[in-house]
Amino acid sequence: MGYMISWVCVALFNVSIISGLIVAFVYKPSVAYESVQKLTYLIPYGDIFRQLHYFSSEAFLIMSLVHIVFELRKREIRIGQSSWNYSILALAALFFVMFTGYILKADLSGLSAGEIAISLLKQTPLLNYFVPLFEDSSIFIWKYYIWHILFLPLILTYGLLVHVKTFRTKYWSIGLGLSLFLMMIFTMPKDVAPDATNIHVTGPWFFKSAENLLMLGVSPIVVDFVIFFPFLTLLGYFYLEKHRTLLRVLLLLWCIVYAVFSFI
């Protein structure tokens, strides 16, 4: 079961990349929101490709988390140190490519998430040096766009290649079928016009807990630690063999706490 899930993840990744390339031909950072609306409502089949990109990416993220759960249940890690480390790098790149993609729709919720991310970086020592990599005074989402279509996909692809060695095509039809099935039973979040007022907006579902912690007055430094905690824990999981039970418990507690703060 765990073996099949890993290859379905790869299949979903490929569906996401291919559909994303098609969407990229229409997307223009200088008129981001307008180009997204044009893709959704005016260009033939544009909405279908946008949904395919969205749901294949969401499914890829969720199935990757399921794959990690299966791996953590095993008593021993059967892959090498390099493969394990690059798998964590790929996981981190996946989360951030999903986050930047949410920002790129350039509606009120996307722009708000981008501003919160910049604010978190600015208020955290050491991380504040990375602000110029994301902030742009002329076109707000331009640098997010570069990260989303270039740097993060390259990091993600390289991490996956080192981890799985090769991209097999055996389960690609399952990845496409799963994405199409999700498109039929779920709907994408509605775009909120950037100039809308008196509307409560939130970031992507995996970022809501961080937003709520900030609203409760928790220090940005603590919030950043909460965000990076699972990646750091998983990175150390390979080396701390005698403490893996403790690390699994800590990850479980983190999941519970993060979920609770996502719904408050």
What is the torsional sign of CA 28, 100, 142, 11?
negative
DSSP string, 65-125: HHHHHHHHHSSS--S-HHHHHHHHHHHHHHHHHHHHHHHHT-SHHHHHHHHHHHHHHHTST
Counting as low any pLDDT under 50, the low residues of the chain are none
- pLDDT at residue 2, rounded to an integer: 63
Phi, psi dihedral angles at 194 (to 5 degrees): -60, -25
Backbone conformation region of residue 125, classed left if phi is above 0, alpha if psi is from -120 to 50, else beta = beta
The pLDDT value given to residue 81:
83
Question: Taking a C-beta distance cutoff of 8 angstroms, is the pair 220, 119 a contact?
Answer: yes
40, burial (CB in 10 Å: exposed 0-12, middle 13-18, buried 19+): middle
With beta carbons less than 8 A apart as the criterion, state whether 160 and 90 touch.
yes
Which residue type does 260 have?
V
Two tokens, residue 150: 């270039």
Which of 205, 260, 161 lies closest to 62, judged by CA? Answer: 205
Longest CA–CA span in the chain (Å) reads 58
55: burial class by Cβ within 10 Å (0-12, 13-18, 19+)? buried
CA 201 to chain centre: 18
Distance CA 94, CA 91 (A): 5
Going from N- to C-terminal start, the domains of the chain cover 2-189
**63-78: string of b/e by CB count within 10 Å (b at 16+)?**
bbebbbeebeeeeeee
Tens digit of each residue's pLDDT (9 = 90 or more) over 64-111: 999 999 888 876 777 788 889 999 999 999 999 999 999 999 999 999
The pLDDT value given to residue 19: 97
Evaluate whether 173 touches 227 at the Cβ level (below 8 Å).
Answer: no
pTM for this predicted structure: 0.94
Question: Into which CATH architecture does domain 2-189 fall?
Answer: Up-down Bundle (1.20)
